[in-house]
Amino acid sequence: MFRSILTTLGNCVKIPELKSRILFTIGVLFVYRLMTVIRIPGLNGDALSEYFSKQQGNGGLLGMYNTFAGGAFEHCAIASLGIMPYISATIIIQLLTAVVPRLSKLAREEGGRTKIIQYGRYLTVLICLGQGLYFASSWRHPEVIFHGFQGQLVLIDNYYLYLTEAVVVMTAGTMLCMWLGEQVTERGIGNGVSLIITAGILSRLPRAITALKDMFFPSGGIEANYHFAGTGVLLIALLVFVIAGVIAITQAQRKIPVQYAQRAVGRKMYAGGTSFMPLRVNYAGVMPIIFAQSILMFPQPICTKAAEFIKAPFLQDFFRSLASSLNYGSGLYMTIFAVMILFFSYFWVATQFNEIQIADDLKKNGGYIPGVRPGQGTSDYLHKAMSRITLAGAIFLTVIATIPILLSKQISIPPDVAQFFGGTSILIAVGVLLDTMRQVESHLMMRHYDGFLKKGRIRGRF
């Protein structure tokens, strides 16, 4: 197997176009990684990096944001906002397109998608300005959002000069990341924005390996801590199971057979045929987990602040108890987390999967599902089928999302290690790597070379 991988990599070098695309992608990712360590002028990034290293990835919203930003946030780098504002803007535009008739009509018009992408870029700038202003003002008083932080981050006396500089630099950094991602998509290999996120996630791997080493060799010596020997075997088995499960569910789909009748268009006669409509089991991808994690970061701080401002003793006790119950990894937190993942899985499918439009398109093109009436019958059939497979995908997402929490809270696995055993990190990384390998595979198969995912029928001629 290892020899086959080396042979495939050698074949990639033999194709000039594929070689240039791979080198271009590597070069862009290198530029992005530089952006995550070049600090904003006037900020003491060392103090914040030391704070994050002591926190050990506490699973909070800022920890998750720092992971997606590739560690740029903890370094106070020019790419501190990362690519997430662009992702957020894209998601908002997609949801609005599904519910706003004017945007939905624009998306179906010629050139409408280009206009919607332009709207997404404008919204990205607005989100960057808002988030940049929040982070820049918070860095002025870091103890407000970084509990237990001691020290000073801002080294510039002129507050308004610092604020303007930080917001402009962070906004420009995000827009540059967005542009780099688009360049990779056009001139490189794989989806550029997704690769940038994956590069940020995988950049945390060395820290996870160090934390894992400290688990088994806490004194730094060569003798292992045999108390964790069983844990090590279970972790390896769990990692294999999670990766295999993510790959299987990511590629799993239900194939709905579609029959096309013979039809005449003008003077041309088109023959009928049989095809299929793929319905993905995990249609929502990683979005339900991101939505649930983002929303669950706010109730506990709100309850804590409410207990401080409310004077009534019984209400203070109630909000303190509620805040304690909503701690990361608690039973109530896990229950709400699971329910929200299930809800957002169906919510995303309801807003993005339009079975009525699919049924109408099939009817217009002379297609039908065998045994199902065209029109409303097809729409009802697709809705029922999608609801069933969405339940399986949502349960899978819930299991994958809760594994890191259980590992860190119940088995005391360092969070930096636990994040690679499930959650958004493993889902994004595996999905993006599979997509990139498929694109490399298509280039190799066009030149009659064997690929990564399966062996080609025609071997290389060189």
Closest to 393 in 3D by CA, of 276, 256, 279: 279
For residues 245 and 352, the answer to whether their CB atoms sit within 8 Å is no
Q: How many Cβ atoms sit within 10 Å of the Cβ of residue 303? A: 18
Q: How far is 27 from 20, CA to CA, in rounded Å?
A: 10
Sorting pLDDT into bands at 50, 70 and 90, what band is 126?
A: very high
Least confident of 133-137, 300-304, 382-386: 300-304
Tokens of residue 48, six digits: 């914040």
pLDDT of residue 154: 81
Residue 122 has pLDDT above 70, yes or no: yes
**Among residues of the chain, what percentage have pLDDT more than 70?**
84
Angle at 287 between CA 284 and CA 289, to 5 degrees: 115
Sorting pLDDT into bands at 50, 70 and 90, what band is 2?
A: low
Least confident of 48-52, 189-193, 215-219: 215-219
Specify which residues 279 forms β-bridges with: 254
Sorting pLDDT into bands at 50, 70 and 90, what band is 145?
A: low
Least confident of 39-43, 190-194, 395-399, 408-412: 408-412
Q: Is 442 exposed, middle or buried (0-12, 13-18, 19+ CB in 10 A)?
A: exposed
pLDDT of residue 451: 54
**Higher per-residue pLDDT: 293 or 41:** 41
Sorting pLDDT into bands at 50, 70 and 90, what band is 322?
A: confident
pTM of this structure:
0.76
- The answer to whether domain 14-203 has CATH 3.40.50.80 is no
